[in-house]
Structure 1
Amino acid sequence: MREGNALRYIFIVMAIALMAGGGWMAAGEWPKLGMTLLFLGLGIGGQNAKTWWDNRRPSLKLEGIREEEAELLAESYQKAITDYRYLEQARTQLKDRELVNQLGRMQHISRNMLSYLEKHPKKISAAQPFIDYYQDRAVGLVRKYQELEATELSTERVAELKTRMKTTLSGFDEAYAEQFERMLNDQMMTTDAELTVMEQHLDAHGISLERPANEVVMTRAEAKQQEPSMEGMRVSLEKETGIKLTNSGEVQSRKGSQPLYMGGGSRYSLIPPGEKPEVIRHKVLQSLLAIFLGTFGAHKFYQGKTFWGFLYAALFWTTIPTFVSIVEGIRYLVMPMDDFYVQYCREDDK
């Protein structure tokens, strides 16, 4: 960690030096060289700023909690964040697309849970089974899977172990969701009690909240009995549309290569619901950088493609990067959201 911080500081100093020297040269007798150095400094500085933002330490509001307890909560939460980041990085390195998709479903729930815990740190103690068991075991299994994958062995024993690991992890998204619901149990019970009081209050004032006569309310047992017929409907839908429904409420294409989520109306999308605003932001920003600063490789630095960023900046005087980046910027703008998400937001598909 210290080595990483030291290296980051070196790059920050380098970026400042390049920008200062570039600005001085641009205002003097070497404008082209100065502009090149200036934008190289901006690119390095922007990349370090993005890295810092992605790895910043979340701030927990632990006021009103005893110091010892606050330290334990902060330590547990930091462990959860560290494990989450490891799994997120693993998604960019694994070759098995089925496992990558499963990790994506797990990470979507985990991200929402960690965001909730950041706002409600007192709930961290209730999340210990998730932090210390499920997410911890997920990290352990993924690390072992990566080690097996790195051997490039295709023996029967290795294939069996990898299959068992994927099968075990396939149930973790449901386990994550169950742990999240247990964390919310107190809140849901309080909300249920408040609703009961409100209903009684409205009823006392002659306001009826009775359900329509034609609405059928099934008990849990009755709903359980209906599962076979629902399964039949699911099979029928798969045959007619080529879309495969999963138990988690998502769908997959017939090939099962990508998880799909319900979008607007009846449209399915590859983008998880909570990530769509972020994808739109990336799409617009990347397009603007390519069109207006693409000559100097700004959009490539933003994508993390440092080599290409330097190459654009070094060749800016030829005007070739200018034309190429304008075309790229327009392409980003008109590209369908799902395609943009897969190509530029999903690290595993880059």
Structure 2
Amino acid sequence: MEFLQKLVKKILSLVAHTALTVAGFFVMLLSLGGFLTGEILGGGIILAIGVAMTAIGTRSLWYPSYKEKQEEKKKLQDIRHTTLEKSNPAAPVSDFVRDSYEKAISDYNSLNGIIRQLQDQELAEQLKKMQGIAQRMINYMREHAEKISMADQFINYYQDRALSLSRQFLEFEQMGLNTPEIAEIKAKTKRTLESFDEAYEAQFSRMLTDKMLEVESELKVAEQIMSDAGIQNTPDALHGRSASHNTAAAGATVTPDMQASASGTDIPDIMLKNNPFSIDRPFDIGGTADEYPCQNRRTGKCRPRGRFQK
């Protein structure tokens, strides 16, 4: 049934596009009458309408290839030469760093030009993958000029070699020779470049080392603050919550003893139902002040004390 619906839809679409194309063609012919009678403006308007109708009618013929070409252009978009001083005027850079940055951009754009001419699609796809990583690296360099020195191996070896090998591969393609020797060289070139994207990623990761250490430090501070507040986002706490939910989902009767056993401590039901954290004392529960010494006399509620609470 679904197949028939798609077939009918495709046939109707084809008929509609054909009718629109034929109508547009006749409209363009009518515009000739306007031009012959001296009605230049009217003939021009009719001609424009006819061209638009014909373009829409034949859209299924030319639009897919046009869209594909536009996507390829986006993937291989050249990087504009933006100086580091303009991106961050407050941080002057050395001539070495500036030259390295300019070389990275120049080699990137040159490799794009080679990809557009390659006939070997396997190599072209591999180079596009490498270019995607290189583009992110260069954008990061522009915002963090102090990291460019850490990308020296990427700029002066990996990307430089990728450009040189790709240029030689293209030259062999343009020669049109298919001798065994040239075929072997081309195959070795492709095998060598297959792992270059991993090398690119390793170089990018090296540039981000300080950033990763900074994030790790912030995570440790957050964990310490939660720990001081009596909150532990531990695997045991998450497992206790999961076990409680799984038991309930199976249709079993969940008792406080079972919940406490799953979590490893005596925690009220409200904590196990809605919170993945384990807390060393309850809050927002009923009871008397004698039962829960931390209870607020005015509100009747209880909150755990954290680092910034008195």
Q: TM-score normalised to the size of structure 2?
A: 0.50
Rg: which structure is higher? 2
Q: TM-score normalised to the size of structure 1?
A: 0.44
